[in-house]
Structure 1
Amino acid sequence: MIDVIRHNMAPLMFAGMIVFMLIGYPAAFALAATGLFFGFVGIELGLIRPDFLGNLTFQMFGIVSNDLLLAIPFFTFMGAILEKCGLAEDLLDSIGQLFGPVRGGLSYAVIFVGAILGAITGTVAASVIAMGVISVPIMLRYGYSKRHTMGVIAASGTITQLIPPSLVLVVLADQMGKSVGDMYAGAIGPSIIQVALFCIWVFIVSMIWPEQVPALPPEARTLKGKALAWKCARGIIPSAGLIFLVLGTIFMGLATPTEAGAMGVVGAIAVAAINRTLSWSLLYAGMSSTMRITAFVVYILIGARVFSLVFQGVGGKEWIEHLLTGLPGGQTGFLVVVNIFIFFVAFFLDFFEIAFILIPLLAPVADKLGIDLVWFGVLICANIQTSFMHPPFGFALFYLRGITPRSVVSTSDLYWGAIPWLFLQLILVVILIFWPQSVTYWIDKGVKGDPSKIELKIEMPDVDLAPPKF
């Protein structure tokens, strides 16, 4: 029995993690507990040296000294401020008026504003909640179907997952040891394709089911000529300025993602002040939300480091490599299996949990198969965005459910409305697999002198894992 456990420690450890996740135990503590338990078992069975767990100190120091992870609270704080400062309302109002005469005009406005907010905030919650509060009453008032309304708002918010400065891209870059600037550059093409797919679907709906997406009536189009141009400028110019502060400085090599995030926070506070919505309560709410999310991420990362260290010590890396490199079809077979696996895992795991738990296991195998890790990271990011649209567990659907009364929109309308947009996201994943140039083209054009490549990284030292000889 002991020999069976000794030779199957890695799969047993992986199965233990899955069991903890399925019973709903908090991910951070489940990972840490699984890692420590199997670490002590491995020491008792002689699989790893007694001093091996001492490397956890290097892992913890690597987390707290990683400047790149500071981008997470900065982007989260910026998104929290922009959610309530009135910028989204100005954008939706002006672009909605601009597209008003067209069938599906409000849907196009929601998609474009979702893309713009994604390029500013990098957080899905801020985009979905801001657009849901503003757009749901307007779209339903002017005759848009409930299912289409819920689907387009949720989907346009999840574009934030893919459009730089996405938090997911920051985390994936850190886990894969790649430049955030390259990840951002690689995500430009897929972001454009995703927005185009959404717009094409709105056009198809307007042709086949025009009653679901009517044009605004003349009395609702209150802005014309100079007034409309001024309204558009008032919403777009601050957005363009923030996009330059966050993305332009990174792509020009003037700032790291962390520094760009800090400048974005200053810009968001300035926009709130210009819109006369800046207050202590706004700042307190933003800081409170940022504190909770950052603590959540750091605890998951600590638990994931404990798990991955012990998993490597008991031969988990070799087990995963042998399991995945032996798949039929080579690179394509690996990509298909991995993406199907992540699609279903996303029903249960948050995108941070996927990035911290699964990516460290999959990235070495992808590298060994000769797959470009930046392209692989962008592909995984495109897949992870479906986690926000999965009925019944998608977080974007939870956000919309929380801000929309059940007397107005039923839960079934919410879930059925998400399905077409979920398929559009999966189409993007297929496009990226069979057309990798949609990612690599932008990387080749990419960032000049990207300072984010110069990062302090504390790597785990090489340790002899063999048991001591007496």
Structure 2
Amino acid sequence: MSDGALGLTQLFLFLFFIMLGFPIAFTLMAMGLFFGYLGMQERIFDLLIQRTYSVMANDVLISVPLFVFMGYIIERANILDRLFRSLQMASGNIPGSLAVATLATCALFATATGIVGAVVTLMGLLALPPMLRAGYDPRLATGVICAGGCLGILIPPSIMLILFGATAGVSVVQLYAAAFIPGVMLAALYILYAMGIAVVKPHYAPRLPPEEVNIPFQAILFSLLTSFLPLALLIALVLGAILMGLATPSEAAAMGSLGAVLLAIAYRSFTWAKLRESVFLTARTSAMVCWLFVGSAIFSSVFGYLGGQQLVEEFFKSLPLNQFTFMLLAQFLIFLLGWPLEWTEIIVIFVPIFLPLLDDFGVDPLFFGVLIALNLQTSFLSPPVAMAAFYLKGVAPKHVRLEDIFRGCMPFIFIVLFCMACVYVFPQLVTWLPEQLYGGGGAGALPLTVDAPPPGGFQEEEILLPSD
């Protein structure tokens, strides 16, 4: 068997084993070591040490546990409950007010945590019962929670964009600037859709009774100042420090974590038990991400060494593709991968396969990364394996069927596709802010150098191994 065929066998066997439910990170390492030994003999163990060290020494990845810790502190300090109540009071006279408050809360909280399962689950416990009691159609109520909970993948400071930047060797700062307008636009489209449904089909989202709407202005203002403003200000300071070049993502994440702790203390909801639980969950999540990166680095290095990457590139180049059809095919494949895989696995394993082809088709990596972040919204919402729907079903009342949740997600999938089409037709939505902030392709961006795999993995000559 040729080395190229051996590399493709490695890829297909990996897909087979993860479909059986094997742990992805350790399956990556096992496949890399096994096929690496077949192709490289004992040098694979030198590669293992080299790749593990290079991943663990990547400064960009420091921001991952810090942002995760910030999210878990906010989640366990009951800040989300205060935020939802204040937005619910402020939006009382708006059509579909509960749905609008839910989407706004999801957008803000998803920005703080970036963990889809946590946002969907908490909002399912917090916002779904009030919407159902108010007479909301279960499809609309569940749809807004699932869609809003996925916004953290796209809206900065997104952990997904950090991992994409580390994988592709792209500035995280510029990625955040590129994703900001599409993220805000998608959240606004969700809110406009919820308000439009409430106007066109009032029985889907009945207006609240007068006693819940006629709240004194002073009470609403006090609630917003004490609940909405502190968290919004914390996120704005963190994101602003990154975009304005005042701090790296890691430094901003550290200050955000400190701010979350101080916010929890100010709300008198900080306890050592909650701190210990947040640290434990952060360590567990961060360990998963780091081992995924180690496994992916070993797997992609061996895959490139055996010539599998070259075969994939030759296959794509042999197809009659232009820029549009290449982007369409790549995004469709990523959409399909979103059913069996989490976004972390897609970013660190499969995205590098497409990265070397971007230059051939004239695609900006920043533009490609933002489209992937948009695309992954649909992966979490699309049946039959819509993870956001299953997260919500686990905490929803028994009379809310999984079929209703799936049907509620469908309109939001079309909104995401519409947003992707707008971004493709008007790429300035992605490129304008980075150009304004950093000028001409990011000349003024922070020099975030990353020790990440070159786009598409490693070719044979790029692996520094001692000779036999």
Fold-level similarity (TM above 0.5) = yes
Question: Does 2:427 correspond to 1:436?
Answer: yes
Question: Does 2:233 correspond to 1:241?
Answer: yes
Q: CA separation of 1:231/1:59 partners in 2, compared to 1, >3 Å: closer, same or farther? A: same
- Separation in structure 1 between the aligned mates of residue 95 and residue 307 of structure 2, nearest angstrom: 58
> What's the CA shift string for 1:366-409, capped at 9, x where partnerless?
13322110111111111112222233433322322222232x42
Percentage of pairs with the same residue: 33
CA contact (8 A) 1:187 1:439 kept: yes
Q: 2:32 aligns with which of 35, 42, 48?
A: 35
- Separation in structure 1 between the aligned mates of residue 424 and residue 353 of structure 2, nearest angstrom: 20
Q: 1:211 aligns with which of 183, 190, 203?
A: 203
Which range moved further: 212-221 or 128-137?
128-137
Question: Does 2:454 correspond to 1:453?
Answer: no
> What's the CA shift string for 1:39-86, capped at 9, x where partnerless?
122247xxxxx5365233221111111111111111111111111223
> What's the CA shift string for 1:80-112, capped at 9, x where partnerless?
111122322222112212221232111111112
CA contact (8 A) 1:74 1:265 kept: yes
How far 1:462 sits from its partner (Å)? Answer: 7.8
- Separation in structure 2 between the aligned mates of residue 99 and residue 464 of structure 1, nearest angstrom: 60
Question: Does 2:416 correspond to 1:418?
Answer: no
What's the counterpart of residue 182 of structure 1?
Answer: 174
What's the counterpart of residue 16 of structure 2?
Answer: 19
Residue type of the partner of 1:219? E
How far 1:415 sits from its partner (Å)? Answer: 2.1
CA contact (8 A) 1:253 1:449 kept: no
Residue type of the partner of 1:27? I
- SS of 1:403 mapped into structure 2: coil
What's the counterpart of residue 375 of structure 1?
Answer: 367
1:355-370 → structure 2 map (5 Å cutoff): 355-370=347-362
> What's the CA shift string for 1:339-389, capped at 9, x where partnerless?
111111100011000001011111111133221101111111111122222
- Separation in structure 1 between the aligned mates of residue 437 and residue 467 of structure 2, nearest angstrom: 52
Count of residues paired in the alignment: 461
1:249-288 → structure 2 map (5 Å cutoff): 249-288=241-280
**CA root-mean-square deviation:** 2.5
1:29-68 → structure 2 map (5 Å cutoff): 29-43=26-40, 51=43, 54-68=46-60
Question: Does 2:77 correspond to 1:80?
Answer: no
- Separation in structure 1 between the aligned mates of residue 424 and residue 182 of structure 2, nearest angstrom: 11
- Separation in structure 2 between the aligned mates of residue 76 and residue 275 of structure 1, nearest angstrom: 20
Q: 2:378 aligns with which of 357, 381, 386?
A: 386
CA contact (8 A) 1:143 1:213 kept: yes
Which range moved further: 299-308 or 341-350?
299-308
Residue type of the partner of 1:287? V
How far 1:25 sits from its partner (Å)? Answer: 1.4
CA contact (8 A) 1:205 1:212 kept: yes
Which range moved further: 235-244 or 337-346?
235-244
TM-score by length of 2: 0.92
What's the counterpart of residue 192 of structure 1?
Answer: 184
Gaps of 5+ in 1: 45-49
How far 1:463 sits from its partner (Å)? Answer: 5.4
CA contact (8 A) 1:34 1:307 kept: yes
1:25-174 → structure 2 map (5 Å cutoff): 25-43=22-40, 51=43, 54-174=46-166
Residue type of the partner of 1:112? A
What's the counterpart of residue 327 of structure 2?
Answer: 335
- Separation in structure 1 between the aligned mates of residue 467 and residue 167 of structure 2, nearest angstrom: 35
- SS of 1:28 mapped into structure 2: helix
Which range moved further: 134-143 or 427-436?
427-436
Residue type of the partner of 1:20? F
Which range moved further: 217-226 or 372-381?
217-226
How far 1:440 sits from its partner (Å)? Answer: 0.6
Residue type of the partner of 1:145? D
Gaps of 5+ in 2: none
- SS of 2:22 mapped into structure 1: coil
CA contact (8 A) 2:111 2:156 kept: yes
- Separation in structure 1 between the aligned mates of residue 30 and residue 147 of structure 2, nearest angstrom: 36
Q: CA separation of 1:459/1:354 partners in 2, compared to 1, >3 Å: closer, same or farther? A: closer
How far 1:206 sits from its partner (Å)? Answer: 1.7
- Show structure 1 runs of 4+ deviating over 4 A: 447-452, 458-466
CA contact (8 A) 1:351 1:384 kept: yes
